[in-house]
Structure 1
């Protein structure tokens, strides 16, 4: 089993412990480390003893190396890069745009980045051939196109229907984006990680030995990741929009309506920053699936009543 997964197995089985780990791993200063430094840190993990240097190497490996392939993740798709890159895209995509074009533009950038992040951090234990890679590329293109159009639907409706009523505008700009953001995040994970549903993912016994490929584990891994991503984007859309609706009724905001925009931007960025480690921690990185839910040929290997799998991110 990969050193990253061994660490998650021993340290990441409770929500609080996972949250503490992710808060540490999401430190953006690790992005300044070169690939050579990351590979050197990962190579040192096999040495005995635990020191401050070992802890730094482990943190660098966990935040920068894919647990299935052992390769260094692309810089922009590493977990520490998620907040710095996605925050301005999320803020811009939730703005009350005046026309369709800027809404589509920002949705395209956001959906493209999240699609790339989902693909780069997925479970890749099942080998891919050239046909599978082509299928993955088509899935990415299709998902980004569909999600971009769907994400811009509120502004499309406003522009095409010529909406001027304040209650209707509030619905399209503040209420509809909440379930829409959650649904699109859920759909993106399910679509882009379709291969895990079809071919399955690697499962391990309690000693960390690979015992086979399981579709049931693949379904569980994708479902958990999709739910965590829906919670992330749904909450990020909900909290700031609902706060703005409430604060607009207060006297300070009624006297100074120009405060609404900066408050919205800051609150979106803050909620996103708080929700990223929470959403990443909702489910274990090294999940467990019960024996009775596994395929018959794998149940014999589950001597402890369950097997482990890498959930991906």
Structure 2
């Protein structure tokens, strides 16, 4: 088992402990770390040095920059610290009530492309012999980006193509429908991009960190958990700003200053998204557990322990 996973095993047992770790790991300053420093930190930790405050910085660099399965350095733009600065502007832009379909399609395409790349880069690749994307994976990613982009602009298409003039219906499609739609698309983005894991399985480990085989059941659990966290992230980000804007519009001050509602909504979207990232990442442990009776039947006979571990991915 990789040293990063061993760290999560000993330090990420509760939601609060995982939240504390993720708040540190999402610091954008870690993106400035050079590859040489990342490799040096990884080597230092792999040599068996004890976890202490002295090498806490090395752990943060390793956890935020190195893939726990392959041991390779993650692409800079797809590292966890890059998620907020890269995705937040795309989220805010995609939630704007665009006047035409083309700008809505453009921003949805950028958002879905980035999230698909992030989901793929941070997948579980423990059963993959070659770390480069297979043709099937590339087709899955392209298909995912295509249909989530089109589905994401569906409310805008309905308003424009049907020439809806009712203010109630316009607000319904522009501000209410995107809430469940954003959650569903975020869920599907993870589920389809990482769908190959469910077919090939992922490695499971015993309590000593030794690999005991490959399990499809563990892969399904890992992908489902990650998809749910992403649905919570994007669904909440879409819901809270719209709810707050609806409340503000009922006050006398904002009725007299209606132009202030839009920038407040966009600012809230950015704030809520940044707040929800570490919380959503912390909902499930990075080193998940699965009971022996729930893994594949051929694997049950090979293991003696009642609880096995797997890397959930991100």
Provide TM-score, normalisation by structure 1: 0.97
Q: 1:118 to 1:260 in 2, by over 3 A?
A: same
**Which residue is 1:297 aligned to?**
298
CA contact (8 A) 1:44 1:54 kept: no
1:37 aligns with 2:41: no
Task: Find the aligned partners of 1:22 and 1:225 in 2 and give their Cα distance.
Answer: 15
Structure 1 residue runs of 4 or more that deviate by more than 4 Å after TM superposition: 128-132
- The alpha carbon displacement at 1:118 in A equals 0.2
Moved more, 63-72 or 295-304: 295-304
Q: Within 2, Cα distance between the matches of 1:51 and 1:290?
A: 31
SS in 1 for 2:97: coil
In the alignment, what sits opposite 1:60?
Answer: 61
The root-mean-square deviation of aligned C-alpha atoms, in Å, is 1.4
Could you tell me which residue of structure 1 aligns to residue 146 of structure 2? 145
| Counterpart in the other structure of 1:221 | 222
Structure 2 distance, partners of 1:190, 1:172, is 25
Tell me which residue corresponds to 2:95. Answer: 94
2:125–2:131 Cα contact (<8 Å) kept: no
Q: What is the total number of aligned residue pairs between the two structures?
A: 313
Partner SS, residue 171 of structure 1 = helix
Give the equivalent residue in structure 2 for 1:84. 85
Shift of 1:304: 3.3
1: CA distance, partners of 2:130 / 2:72: 18
3-state DSSP of counterpart to 2:71: coil
CA distance in 1, matches of 2:99, 2:222: 39
1:308 is paired with a residue of what secondary structure? strand
Alpha-carbon distance, 1:246 to partner: 1.4
Whole-Å separation in 1 of the counterparts to 2:19 and 2:98 = 35
1:8 matched residue in structure 2? 8
Secondary structure of residue in 1 paired with 2:207:
coil
Helix, strand or coil at the partner of 2:309: strand
CA distance in 2, matches of 1:239, 1:312: 27
Matched, 1:21 2:17: no
**Residue 239 (structure 2) aligns with:** 238
TM-score (norm 2): 0.97
Q: Which consecutive unaligned segments of at least 5 residues does structure 1 have? A: none
Aligned counterparts of 1:53 and 1:68: Cα–Cα separation in 2: 25
- 1:299 deviation in Å? 2.0
Q: Is the 8 A contact 1:9 1:286 kept in 2?
A: yes
